[in-house]
Structure 1
Amino acid sequence: MSEMKNNVFERKETKYILSKEQLPEFLADLSCYMEQDEHGLHLIQSLYYDTSCYQMIRHSMEKPNYKEKFRVRCYGVANQDAIVFLELKKKIQRVVYKRRMAIPYSVYQEWIRGGKLPEDPKNPQIQREIAWLFRQYPDLAPKVLISYERLSYFGKEDSAFRITFDQRISYEDTTLNLADTSSRQLVAPELGVLMEVKALGAYPLWFVALLNQYQLKKSSFSKYAQTYQRHLWNKGEKENVSKCVS
């Protein structure tokens, strides 16, 4: 089951960190119960939008009951024929709700040059929610581009139970170009593999046993928050945010 084909999600997302040395053996054990999706190891790029004061990520880092993000996601390196997704991601009491609309990369480029927000005739509600967000935050703009290589697995008995493995989590905050990956830097060089478990209900017993076997504990690693704390904050954003909150 491929995430690339879905436009509406509701689930809990829990993160764990594995070492690179653990990954091959863990995947071998996992393959008894889960299957890798058809895309194999693939590149994901997420262009995060925020206000001039980084209001969204600062609010998110306070661990509120409700938070939201807006990003543009691309699978692979973008070209004029590529499809990108405008994604509105909300988290309410640990449950993640993600809604998105798919548009050609060329249409997205027209939009950011000052064009009209594209419409989604199949689901106009998504377009209305995105338009409302931009009215609430008039200075919303691209701030950082985060990319990583992902492996995705889904349960053999329950395809809604999904696990992803992200490696080489990188960022850049200058060109913000979905068509060029040459200027990326690692967000956290010491990080091995970020595993995300995506499910609404309880974990299967076999997976609980697997977590215990590898002594894996929950992690709060957030790609955007870590990038903001480690890199953006130290590049002058501390002074910009201070002006906004003073």
Structure 2
Amino acid sequence: MAIKSFKRYEKKYILSQKQYEALIPKLLEYMNPDKYCKSGNTYNIYNIYYDTKNSDVIRHSISKPFYKEKLRLRSYKIPSNSEDIVFLELKKKINGIVNKRRVSLTLKEAYDFLNLGIRPLSNDYINNQVLNEIQYYLDNNKVYPAVYIGYTRKAYFGKDDNNFRLTFDSNIISRRNDLNLESGIFGEDILGENKYLMEVKILGAIPVWFTKILSELEIYNTHFSKYGNEFMSHCLNKQNINLRGEKVC
């Protein structure tokens, strides 16, 4: 079991294929691909987001509150057995600052914790602090698997500032059935073909050289939440009726 904690600002941009192809060569003067993205490689991320039966978590999130939090189960490969490692994350956003707390567990430990309330055992103080936070969240929010969201990612780090990070997500796929990481990536595209979601992750100010490149390529900041956009698309579906004949949204 291992823990990581992240605290940073995030800004988002949606790029066309043309903008993406023009941007990457310019970035390479100032940034390096991360270790998983050498020689043009990408990697996949698989997530299950947890929410209440009435979608209270995402409803609150898209109302742009001062404080919000989400719980998700994440993997960087499709698990093939119960001992594969996954990450349970509690992502908080306070006045625009993102704080992510996560603990690595086996798939079985994660499912037992989330579905059965069986807390993983740990002798590590910091691990237990994160588990305490997640336990508190689960005790106060009756949440269930709500949506699967998976995507392909390419990431870069600043040559002079490792805290300056860019990620490019494409093929953002979601579904509301078969909510298991083991089932792999399939579902509906919520971003669109030949588009990229660029996320800027930084502890301080965005470098001047980067803002100049964005201006030159006419790339502008936008608001895009993967789960938020999936939920709004879900609500627009005219077939969005539950088994009791009630509207979900």
TM-score by length of 1: 0.90
Tell me the equivalent position of 1:96: 98
Tell me the equivalent position of 1:28: 25
**Structure 1: distance between partners of 2:208 and 2:3:** 27
Please tell me whether residue 134 in structure 1 is matched to residue 138 in structure 2.
yes
Q: What letter corresponds to residue 219 of structure 1 in structure 2?
A: T
Report the secondary structure of 2:180's partner residue: coil
Q: 1:211 to 1:120 in 2, by over 3 A?
A: farther
Offset of 1:203 from its aligned partner? 1.0
Q: What letter corresponds to residue 236 of structure 1 in structure 2?
A: I
Please tell me whether residue 145 in structure 1 is matched to residue 148 in structure 2.
yes
Report the secondary structure of 1:21's partner residue: helix
**Structure 2: distance between partners of 1:191 and 1:6:** 35
Report the secondary structure of 2:215's partner residue: helix
- Superposed, 1:44-123 pairs within 5 Å as 44-80=45-81, 81-122=83-124, 123=126
Q: What letter corresponds to residue 33 of structure 1 in structure 2?
A: Y
Q: What letter corresponds to residue 70 of structure 1 in structure 2?
A: L
CA contact (8 A) 1:89 1:99 kept: yes
Identity of aligned residues (%): 38
**Structure 1: distance between partners of 2:170 and 2:16:** 10
Report the secondary structure of 1:22's partner residue: helix
Q: 1:120 to 1:57 in 2, by over 3 A?
A: farther
Offset of 1:133 from its aligned partner? 0.5
Report the secondary structure of 2:133's partner residue: helix
Report the secondary structure of 1:116's partner residue: coil
CA contact (8 A) 1:88 1:98 kept: yes
More displaced stretch, 106-115 vs 127-136: 106-115
Report the secondary structure of 1:73's partner residue: strand
More displaced stretch, 101-110 vs 147-156: 101-110
1:160 is aligned, of 159, 163, 178, to 163
TM-score by length of 2: 0.89
Residues paired across the two proteins, number: 237
CA contact (8 A) 1:101 1:120 kept: no
Deviations 1:68-119 (A, max 9, x none): 1000111121222421111001100100000001001132233345250224
Offset of 1:172 from its aligned partner? 1.1
Report the secondary structure of 1:52's partner residue: coil
Offset of 1:236 from its aligned partner? 2.5
Q: What letter corresponds to residue 99 of structure 2 in structure 1?
A: Y
**Structure 1: distance between partners of 2:9 and 2:71:** 18
Deviations 1:138-196 (A, max 9, x none): x2111001000000111111001101000000011111121222532211325710000
Tell me the equivalent position of 1:172: 175
Please tell me whether residue 236 in structure 1 is matched to residue 227 in structure 2.
no
- Computed over aligned residues only, the root mean square deviation of the Cα atoms, in angstroms, reads 2.0
Tell me the equivalent position of 1:7: 4
Report the secondary structure of 1:167's partner residue: strand
Q: 1:121 to 1:152 in 2, by over 3 A?
A: farther
Deviations 1:7-56 (A, max 9, x none): 10000000011112222221111011111111120000111000111111
Offset of 1:201 from its aligned partner? 1.0
Tell me the equivalent position of 1:221: 224
More displaced stretch, 227-236 vs 48-57: 227-236
**Structure 1: distance between partners of 2:92 and 2:17:** 30
Report the secondary structure of 1:7's partner residue: strand
